[in-house]
Structure 1
Amino acid sequence: MGTVVDSIKDAHVSFPGDKKIAVVFVLGGPGSGKGTQCAKIVENYGFTHLSAGDLLRAEIKSGSENGTMISNMIKEGKIVPAEVTINLLQKAMLESGNDKFLIDGFPRNEENRAAFENVTKIEPEFILFFDCPEEEMECRLLSRNQGRVDDNIETIRKRFKVFVESSLPVVGYYDLKGKVRKVDAAKTVNEVFDVVKDIFSPFHKKAE
């Protein structure tokens, strides 16, 4: 049995050429509220929400050799290889049947970004960037108590460091292209969503 890394070499998966795929990358430090806001965008605008972290955790739960490798990397606060995450994302996108996607917590670094565009031939519509002070994110993560292996103080601080060093350059790259929509994520959930609604106004609201 090959791993996901092996299988991507043989998986010539692509989207129909006549179908316009809209992708929004959702970035922000751990605890910045990405998941909460993504749920509201899905409810109101009909996007499919794909969390890179959730897909990786599902792979871990599957008990595969690949899942064990992913688990060990997450515990160390390291970033999983781009081809692993992209293969999981692309599979989920195709299976959804939708053409509008929020990809949450990805790309985690420049390698992820370049590989995603190269493999999928899709450039994001824009980057939704939740900007939140580290102290606020730390408080949120420690209080949410979801029983996740990466919700202890040492791993949280490793994740902050990785985000700043690896993910902020991705935000900078897209900022130069005029594709970053920055949101003050330290505000209340409803205040943040008021700003998000303005950003998503070009997309049709979901029919009631």
Structure 2
Amino acid sequence: MANVKADPGSVPAEPSPPQTSQNTTPRFSSSAVSVVFLLGGPGSGKGTQSTNLVRDYGFIHLSAGDLLRAEQARPGSQYGDLIKSYIREGTIVPMEITVALLSNAMADALEKQSLSASESAGKKARFLIDGFPRKLDQAVFFEDTVCLSEFTLFLNCPEDVMETRLLKRGETSGRDDDNAESIRKRFRVFVDTSMPVVHAFEKQGKVVSVEATGSVEEVYAHVKEGIEARGIHPV
């Protein structure tokens, strides 16, 4: 499988949120689709490790942040200014918008790859969802309405290391949130809202935790060891 990037043109004019979990079943069956969440603080290396995992394990990579930025920039989006404001302040976009964008991107990717429960010959489509869920209610809403996750890959990295990486990236990224003030806000938001997601999945035995310091190669070796122990093998 190839890495499927978000295509702003493929997003419906106004993404319709999934139904509430009170009156629906998940859109995708976990018997046909494998979802791995990738979490870590800002600058923990999620993008770099995602590239490696796509290359070696056939994941379809979806970045919640990339999808939101694409929707923010899409002409005519009623959510564009709202998303921009949330991203600039380092706070979390309403989950209905994020989950709708992810769900639609998964459907688009499956259509492009001609993958379905009947066509995949027993092989699951693998999705690596990067930077999501950022809150516990997002995790519950996604699993109730889109698909159950197999596990969460958590990149554990000290804040001083992440800040150094982000400030360096900010020299060339052009991103509004790659500055010291926004970075520190994002750290606080991650600790306060995203770490409870990690802890909740840990209680379910659904977390692979990796120390994200050292070289890219060293971190990736630990990532491979962790996910292969969960039955994810190279393609």
**TM-score, normalisation: structure 2:** 0.81
Question: What are structure 2's unaligned runs of at least 5 residues?
Answer: 1-11, 116-124
Residue 18 and residue 182 in structure 1: after superposition, are their counterparts in 2 closer, same or farther (change >3 A)?
Answer: closer
The answer as to 2:89 corresponding to 1:60 is no
The answer as to 2:159 corresponding to 1:134 is yes
Q: How far 1:165 sits from its partner (Å)?
A: 0.0
Query: What is the SS of the residue equivalent to 1:8?
Result: coil
Deviates more, 1:160-169 or 1:123-132: 123-132
d(CA) in 1 for partners of 2:221 and 2:30?
A: 33
Query: What is the SS of the residue equivalent to 1:22?
Result: strand
d(CA) in 2 for partners of 1:154 and 1:52?
A: 22
Q: Look up the match of 1:85.
A: 98
* Greater helix share, structure number: 1
d(CA) in 1 for partners of 2:58 and 2:78?
A: 35
Give the fraction of aligned pairs with identical amino acids, expressed as a percent: 49
Structure-to-structure mapping, 1:106-145, within 5 angstroms: 106-120=132-146, 122-145=147-170
Q: Look up the match of 1:190.
A: 217
Question: What are structure 1's unaligned runs of at least 5 residues?
Answer: none
The answer as to 2:61 corresponding to 1:49 is yes
Query: What is the SS of the residue equivalent to 2:132?
Result: coil
d(CA) in 2 for partners of 1:144 and 1:9?
A: 35
- How many residues end up aligned between the 2 structures? 202
Residue 186 and residue 70 in structure 1: after superposition, are their counterparts in 2 closer, same or farther (change >3 A)?
Answer: same
Query: What is the SS of the residue equivalent to 2:232?
Result: coil
The answer as to 2:233 corresponding to 1:204 is yes
Deviations 1:152-173 (A, max 9, x none): 1101000000000000000000
Contact 2:40 2:156 in 1 (8 A): yes
Deviates more, 1:180-189 or 1:196-205: 196-205
Q: How far 1:73 sits from its partner (Å)?
A: 1.0
Misfit runs of 4+, over 3 Å = 1-4
Q: Look up the match of 1:149.
A: 176
Q: Look up the match of 1:26.
A: 38
Query: What is the SS of the residue equivalent to 2:86?
Result: helix
Query: What is the SS of the residue equivalent to 2:83?
Result: helix
Alignment RMSD (CA, Å): 2.1
Residue 199 and residue 45 in structure 1: after superposition, are their counterparts in 2 closer, same or farther (change >3 A)?
Answer: same
